Amino acid sequence: MGSLDGKVALVTGAGGGLGRAHALLLAHEGASVVVNDLGGDRHGVGGGTSMADGVVEEIKAAGGSAVAHYGSVTDDEAAAGMVKTAVDNFGRLDILINNAGILRDKSFKNMTDDEWDIVIDVHLKGTYLVTKHAWRQMLEQGEGGRIVVTSSTSGLIGNFGQTNYGAAKAGIAGFMRVLALEGMKYGITVNVLAPAALSRMTEDLMPDSPETADRLAPEKVSPTVVWLCTDEAAKVTGRQFCVSGNRVSLLSWQVDVITQKDGLDGPWTVAEIGEAMADSMENWPKLLKPMEV
Ligand code: NAI
């Protein structure tokens, strides 16, 4: 018996990499899966059916249940169609994994408007559109649901050459934080995944070695994602999980007060703030150190 028997899941961008690994494990745990993928090249250009079909075949060969969908997450009609595919084939939708993504890395001075727009479109707008239709379906069913959105340490921490991607991924995290609050009364959890895995997307960015392929196999990220979809995880919502290989971390929020006085007093002077900052820079390395996980 699987932990997701009877559940229905939709995974976007599931034709390869992390999405494929999530889809296979969801199916292994008993969920019926809609495998969405545009099937384009690694830049998200073009389209095709073979990537999604290939994963559907793998799931079926392993005894699971799956159906393909080939639309783009950037298209409202296609996003509606993904949810409809779940309902038409399996009767409902319980789980949405927003995973589809592309890169257009450039230092900010070289970035074009097109490179900015397409990354925001696929990641942030795509997450919004598919979630919009899934949310409606989950509310109509009235039995809660599970949503995982895919962010990145690029958006949560920062990474050189990815202002477009970082903005989209930070936007996704903000989207999750608000939606998680709105989902509480409906029993719908919403969590962020910030993964690290060797995939088509990252093969140029990571060392080309069997050790990396093993240490950062996408399959190592999926168990956390799938657990978040189980009944056991019903109370876990609004959280950010960094999963890098076999290391699973919770990225938590911390507020560090630098200086403070009674709120009814007048404002600080600029010089007073300068003094507090100077003192912090001297005695508290955290102020000058870049964030890291
Ligand atoms: P990948 O390139 O192997 O998979 C992305 C999939 O999304 C591809 O199969 C692609 O065809 C599909 N896709 C692209 N545009 C689409 C669209 N408009 N509609 C539907 N499908 C579309 O990359 P990977 O690494 O598996 O990435 C999955 C997610 O994880 C992405 O959101 C990525 O940004 C995120 N991520 C990955 C990291 C890594 O280390 N691999 C690090 C941080 C985040």
Please identify every residue annotated as catalytic.
Answer: 165
What does the pLDDT read at residue 293?
A: 64
Average pLDDT estimate for 240-256: 94
Ligand 1 atom 18 nearest Cα: 72
Which among 12, 18, 205 is the best mutation to test ligand 1's pocket, defined by most ligand atoms within 8 Å of the CB?
A: 18
- Distance between Cα 185 and ligand 1 center (Å): 31
For residue 22, give the CATH number of its domain: 3.40.50.720
220-239 confidence digits (pLDDT tens) = 999 999 999 999 999 999 99
Q: Which residues pair with 33 in a beta bridge?
A: 9, 66
CA pair distance 35, 22, nearest whole angstrom: 10
With respect to residue 277, please indicate whether it lies within any of the assigned structural domains. no
Residue 6 pLDDT grade (very low, low, confident, very high; cuts 50, 70, 90): very high
Residue 69 belongs to a domain: yes
Quick one: pLDDT at residue 84?
Answer: 98
Above 80 in pLDDT, residue 35? yes
What is residue 277's predicted lDDT score, i.e. its pLDDT? 94
* The amino acid at 70: Y
Question: What pLDDT was estimated at residue 158?
Answer: 94
User: 285 in a domain, yes or no?
Assistant: no
Q: Is residue 182 pLDDT above 70, yes or no?
A: yes
Query: Is 255 domain-assigned?
Result: no
Average pLDDT of the residues in 240-258: 93
Residue whose CA is closest, atom 43 of ligand 1? 152
In the prediction, which pLDDT does 204 show? Answer: 86
Residue 290 located in a structural domain: no
CA of 196 to the centre of ligand 1 (A): 11
Q: Is 102 in the pocket of ligand 1 (CB under 6 A)?
A: yes
Per-residue pLDDT averaged across 18-31, rounded?
98
Which of 120-129, 138-147, 200-209, 240-249 is predicted with the least confidence, judged by mean pLDDT? 200-209
pLDDT in tens, 73-89: 999 999 999 999 999 99
Q: In three state form, how does the secondary structure of 143-206 look?
A: CCEEEEEECCHHHHCCCCCEHHHHHHHHHHHHHHHHHHHHHHHHCEEEEEEEEECCCCCCCCCC
- CA dist 38 and 62 (Å) reads 23
Centre of ligand 1 to C-alpha 16, Å, is 8
Cα 284 to middle of ligand 1, angstroms: 38
Q: What pLDDT shows up at residue 255?
A: 86
Is 147 part of any domain?
yes
Q: Residue 17 — pLDDT band, cuts 50, 70, 90? A: very high
Residue 244: strand pairing partners: 196, 247
Is the C-beta atom of 86 inside 6 A of ligand 1? no
Which pLDDT score is estimated for 126? Answer: 98
The answer to the question of residue 281 being in a domain is no
Mean pLDDT of 266-275: 96
What is the domain count for the chain?
Answer: 1
Give the residue whose CA is nearest to atom 3 of ligand 1: 17
Mean pLDDT, all residues of the chain? 96
- Residue 105 is assigned to a structural domain of this protein: yes
The residue among 29, 81, 23 whose CA lies nearest residue 55 is 23
Give me the domain span that covers residue 77. Answer: 8-250
